[in-house]
Chains A and B, each alone.
Chain A
Amino acid sequence: MDWSVIWSNHDLYLSGLWSTVLMSLAAIATATLLGLVVAAIRTSRIPVLSQVARAYLEVFRGTPLLIQMLFIYFGAAYLSGFGITVFGAALLALTLYQGAYIAEIFRAGIEAVPRGQWEAARVLGLPRTQTFVGVILPQTRAIVLPPLVGQYLSLIKDTSIAVVIGYVELVRQGQAVIDRVGSPATSYVAVAVLYFVICYPLSLLVRHMERKAVTA
């Protein structure tokens, strides 16, 4: 393998890496927020709304992210005539898809908090939202954090799917290098290594949290 190819194109890899990180951070923020809201609705047992939340979960966990992304990108283009930006479509699809999984992670955490916590807060006069944010959520940390960070890992890797709608991220830049100078094996190894560099610290974090959860 000719590793000099990597170095001479390092600006492409770095710009791809940056796009991947940017998309990951944005999607982590929006998917977490969506997951929280959906979990709050699911556990509130508000009649119609919780059924809608459930339907959302089934649809977005039951179909491939690839299809969702294509559907959102080309569907939006078809519906509105001018469409949605590539970044916007990829972010929306990642948010809806990952938000469904993250919602279930939060739900498991919320349901593990004893009912007495809600009741104590209620008799004290705390409004529901206040109770959720100030009393219940902080208690879900030990249960929620390890699988949540694990889900972030899969989200980061899922950003590569945005290639199909033309988002220029790490994988796409790796391919650009191949288009330019060949050496596909070398280039893909470089791409894989860069993913690993982002993900490995998070893996370590998950393992650390799981170990702490066991000994706690």
Chain B
Amino acid sequence: MMITDPAAQQTAVTTSRISLSGVHKRFGDLEVLKGVDVDVESGEVVVLIGASGSGKSTLLRIMCDLERADSGEVWVGGVPLHDRKRAPEIFGHVGMVFQQFNLFPHKTALGNVMLALLKVRKLGRAEAEERGRAALKRVGLDTKADSYPAQLSGGQQQRVAIARALAMDPAIMFFDEPTSALDPELVGEVTGVMRSLAEEGMTMVVVTHEMRFAKDTADRVIFMDGGVVLEQGPPERVFGSPAEARTQQFLHRVLDT
């Protein structure tokens, strides 16, 4: 079995841009994406909103090659993910933050952050540890380096997960409902870290129900409905005067509760 190391091809990921066109995806009989076009510029922060089951996660997972589109073109960071041979080049060059954190439970916070630096970037221990600690510091958890995930609060765990992704120096960061599994009082510490990343110019695509985060951090909001992008624009416009009735209904529902 040949295993090519995608990270060895350091030149592959050259931009932070994303361009999807005509993306279709079905699971069995269920057509989840019915021709999606999305472009994200370098440094842009895009928030994806939409009802549960509207395909937001699927779209995000296609952008980091955890799912493969049935048809359409998917360019992420200069890599054509629709080309099966070249798609793995993306691994190790984009970061993904999951709703369930997906930290490695048998490793400390620092161990989580260092693993890919050692095994994918092939750094020496000292350098990996230095970069790992720096990443933990960026999320305000340098004092928790030796804690195991189970010893941390949900908010802290999610910040470690963000640090783990950041340590790889990703071209783009994806977030799939990063605060949905958190107690309400812990949401702020995670959105706070995300906000500072946005201010530093990180290219980000975020699925979230935190409308406040969308309003004050997003450059653009995309509303997904029925497997297509129904409406998109600056947050003031989409939240202030949504063009589509479906968008109005959705916003009504989430903003009221």
Task: Give the B-binding residues of A (Cβ under 8 A).
Answer: 114, 116-117, 119-130, 134-135, 138-139
Contact = CB atoms under 8 A, between A and B. Distances in A.
B30 interface: no
A120 to B, nearest CB: 4
Given A116-B98, A126-B120, A138 B92 contact: no
B7 A125 contact: yes
Q: Which size class do B's interface residues fall under? A: 20 to 34
A122 B91 contact: yes
Nearest to B88: A125
Contacts of B103: 120
Given A114-B102, A116-B98, A138-B106, A123 B3 contact: no
Nearest to B89: A125
13 contacts: A117-B102, A119-B102, A120-B161, A120-B164, A122-B91, A123-B165, A124-B115, A124-B164, A125-B6, A125-B116, A125-B168, A130-B119, A138-B106
Nearest to A117: B102
A134 B118 CA distance: 12
A43 to B, nearest CB: 14
B18 interface: no
Interface in B1-59: 1, 3, 5-7
A139 B104 CA distance: 9
Contact of B5 (A120, A121, A127, A138): A127
Nearest to B104: A135
A124 B5 CA distance: 12
A122 B95 CA distance: 10
B115 A134 contact: yes
Given A125-B93, A126-B120, A139 B106 contact: yes
Interface centre among B3, B103, B119 (most CB of A within 10 A): B119
A134 B111 CA distance: 11
A124 B64 contact: no
Interface string B82-126: 000000000111111010101111100000000110011000000
B66 interface: yes
Query: 7 tightest CB-CB pairs across the interface, nearest first?
Result: A125-B92, A120-B102, A116-B102, A124-B116, A125-B91, A125-B120, A123-B96
> Which of A121, A124, A127, A128 counts the most B-chain CB atoms under 10 A from its CB?
A124
A122 B165 CA distance: 12
